[in-house]
Chains A and B, each alone.
Chain A
């Protein structure tokens, strides 16, 4: 049994970056190069551990693995309970891989080398928080990690961002904190109500709560919405998305990569882990709302992206659309769609992370992100353009690259239970091609003018940073099986849990041809 390894792998994944952050903060001020060295060693070490975990993961089990459980705040029934399953596995690995790339590969551009120290300290603290959110199986611990990531991100945007950074950072902090305010009350209410209804004692343990407690329908719905507001802000789901374009655009490149790569997934992951798992009835009941908001997000994000003159803002709005797909898949309640959602979480992290990285490179060279100022880059930097093309096509969801697998699974899986929403959402795929190809055409095609003629080609170091991204994009696109077979058992268990609780029967593809009218009912 893999879960019985003696080495406390998950605790290390959370604690090592936190300790690294502390070490960076304590490193001598006169030797700023130590800060980067410590940050590199720590993040690469965490990345290696996460990849090792991927190898050791038992792909046939849907339950939690590498479980680690210790008492923490016993007076309140809170424990240090960590575990990973197919849903969180790849998000943990993505976090482990993305951070060293962001730390090693992206130059923070500090005018004063002494500012490297807080920069790397905040990045490592962020990594600890994100890791903690993905592996915690205790509501209190999850809340702590979910909330603590705001602080480093706030300082990263505010301290190392672009012209409108302070406003964007404040907006980001307050928006997310507002969502969390409801979640905190909801977490407490869940725990107390659960202890009164069936559980008999106060515990914040997710598994015990999900398996042992039962809520009256109306209670469960209130509680679910308390959680859902926090996740919906984080994702972000359509009307709550307004913090995202600002935060993304103003954040430094590493901040944008991490924000798009893993932080937005805290929301979608939260929906799966804490929404569907804890409150299956409420999640089923509120399905039409989320499907509708998801589809609005897909179309709205795509249209808004088309209109942007700022390349970074365009990518930011494309995130709104892509995350709409993930929410759509989540609330479609079929194994295929949810598996697709989990895949899409990882794929979006890779492709959008890479897009932000490349936009950052363009800004570094030209000191502008305006599409109108750029043209003909393909002539002067063909390799750069080629790399951009691969990443862009992955973001569009072209078959053969990773973006296709997730989106296709979501659409085909949702078609059984949310047909008309899928019909609308599918146009989002076309719109994605429209805004990205159009932007590509304006930036890379044509004759370069005077200013763009000196655009430098992709450097070796930049290429090395991009290589893992492109490798994952191509590998997953061609051979998604290793990923799918690790995700599926956990998703299957989740659907089964929902079925047990709500009597919902997952429609099988064969059944719909006979009885398509009732295909989506219970």
Chain B
């Protein structure tokens, strides 16, 4: 029986961050195509400003949410809650930083122009949609928007390694998307809906006997595999070292920050928010993934000689830390008092995004000067050539290692705290010990930068906008490290999500 289509009412202001991002991307493409080449740096500035204004709008929406309470948008497709705004702000901040760094990376090459920035903004929009999605189909749309833009970005440099990275990422990413989509289909079969709110409502209203649990469980497994690929959790991480290494450094920074943040936000939406009734089924899986990522990520990072590969493995180990938080969130998912797991994961994501962009920016500066090589030896003597840059690198690496008074410590403390609060002692201890192993890797880079004899005497030029991005990242790292209350004061709200 044909129903009449009723257009959902649309709160345009609540959608404004997405609209700004898409408008920015389209504007760059259209105006950029019609006008002669813009003065240098302007493309980057426009895209950074677009991302910043989207982030600022999200702050205003955050205030609205705080006043009126969470809800849904566009007929239940998107959530209108602090969780979504938090992810949006983190994604926008990282995107703005990456946009600043991109300028110097593409200047003078065929890539100079509006296209790469349009792709960045599009990918970021996809990431924001993933963080806000309240429907599995919308989540998938966001995922594909992000991924397709990222495939192109990863292959944007016309080098053999870049092409290989793009191809690998495309094939494996496509496979992961397919698995994820199949998972959605099975879950739909079991729960009769793709809407997160309706899935939860269905579980609440039906007794266990009437549920089609096997379909739900199969769907859940496939969803975890798909998300595991996207967050680069071991054992689904094998694509990441090659892709991180082969992709242009600014794109790697984007993947490690925005890509990871969006995938984890999606994981929280699917597991913690939509499927709390199956928390005892998915929590052990996350436990295993977390430990595998921690151990494999940190031990394999230590034996690498290429800095980008090292950071790729270290990002696997960071994914392990984030999974520790997801595991903690799983203990009391769906209950009134649900613990700090979800909040700690989001805080970790935001802080890690900023510091990973900062780290890769420095790698970009150093490797450009060394003719594109990212071997650890090109960092030798950085402290003599560029002491301030080396200091920024040290701050960011110490933060990645989780040394106190840096944001990395606040992030780690948060997830370990939430794990210990749920009495997951084993996973907390394994996480901390693997952090020590990973610290060796950061020390190696620092030793090279400060203590090794310089392989190169000419100081590397630091482009102004990249310098600003690095300075911002280092400043955030230190300020949040010394006074975490600045951030923690308002993240309590994120666990009050909508579905």
On whether the beta carbons of A166 and B447 are closer than 8 Å, the reply is yes
On whether the beta carbons of B447 and A185 are closer than 8 Å, the reply is no
Residue numbers in A under 8 Å from B416 (CB-CB)? 184-185, 188
Known contacts being A74-B485, A177-B436, is A144 close to B428, with CB within 8 Å? no
Main SS class of interface, B: helix
Interface membership of A181, Cβ < 8 A: yes
A-B contact pairs, 8 of them (CB 8 A): A75-B489, A76-B484, A144-B405, A145-B404, A158-B451, A165-B451, A181-B432, A185-B420
Residue numbers in B under 8 Å from A147 (CB-CB)? 403-404
Interface membership of A148, Cβ < 8 A: yes
On whether the beta carbons of A151 and B450 are closer than 8 Å, the reply is no
B391 to chain A, nearest CB (A): 8
Interface membership of A41, Cβ < 8 A: no
B434 to chain A: closest residue by CB:
A181
Which of these, B403, B432, B451, contacts A185 with CB under 8 Å?
A: B432
On whether the beta carbons of B428 and A188 are closer than 8 Å, the reply is yes
Which of these, B403, B405, B433, B492, contacts A75 with CB under 8 Å?
A: B492
Residue numbers in A under 8 Å from B409 (CB-CB)? 144
List the 9 closest A-B pairs by CB distance, nearest first.
A181-B432, A144-B404, A188-B420, A75-B488, A185-B428, A178-B436, A177-B436, A147-B404, A148-B404
- B-contact bits for A129-160, CB 8 A (1 contact / 0 none): 00000000000000111011011001100110
B291 to chain A, nearest CB (A): 15
A74 to B439, CA, bound (A): 29
On whether the beta carbons of B425 and A151 are closer than 8 Å, the reply is no
Residue numbers in B under 8 Å from A173 (CB-CB)? 439, 443
Residue numbers in B under 8 Å from A514 (CB-CB)? none
B303 to chain A, nearest CB (A): 15
Interface membership of B191, Cβ < 8 A: no
Q: How many residues on chain A are close to B (CB under 8 Å)?
A: 30
9 new A-B contacts, CB < 8 A, other than A158-B451, A166-B447, are: A74-B485, A76-B413, A147-B404, A166-B451, A173-B439, A173-B443, A174-B443, A185-B425, A188-B420
B391 to chain A: closest residue by CB:
A25
A213 to B428, CA, bound (A): 23
On whether the beta carbons of A181 and B433 are closer than 8 Å, the reply is yes
- A-contact bits for B411-447, CB 8 A (1 contact / 0 none): 0010011001100010011001101100110010001
On whether the beta carbons of A150 and B403 are closer than 8 Å, the reply is yes
Interface membership of A52, Cβ < 8 A: no
A189 to B425, CA, bound (A): 8
Residue numbers in B under 8 Å from A166 (CB-CB)? 447, 451
Which of these, B405, B450, B489, contacts A148 with CB under 8 Å?
A: B405
Interface membership of A34, Cβ < 8 A: no
Residue numbers in B under 8 Å from A182 (CB-CB)? 429, 432
A347 to chain B, nearest CB (A): 30
A395 to chain B, nearest CB (A): 32
Known contacts being A75-B492, A159-B451, is A174 close to B398, with CB within 8 Å? no
On whether the beta carbons of A181 and B429 are closer than 8 Å, the reply is yes
Scoring A76, A143, A184, A189 by chain B CB atoms within 10 A of each residue's CB, the highest score goes to A184
Residue numbers in A under 8 Å from B435 (CB-CB)? 177, 181
Interface membership of A72, Cβ < 8 A: yes
A266 to chain B, nearest CB (A): 14
Residue numbers in B under 8 Å from A155 (CB-CB)? 450
Interface membership of A73, Cβ < 8 A: yes
A189 to B421, CA, bound (A): 7
Which of these, B432, B436, B451, B488, contacts A73 with CB under 8 Å?
A: B488
Interface membership of A300, Cβ < 8 A: no
Which of these, A76, A154, A181, A185, contacts B488 with CB under 8 Å?
A: A76
A144 to B183, CA, bound (A): 44
Interface membership of A192, Cβ < 8 A: yes
A74 to B428, CA, bound (A): 23
Interface membership of A27, Cβ < 8 A: no
Residue numbers in B under 8 Å from A165 (CB-CB)? 451
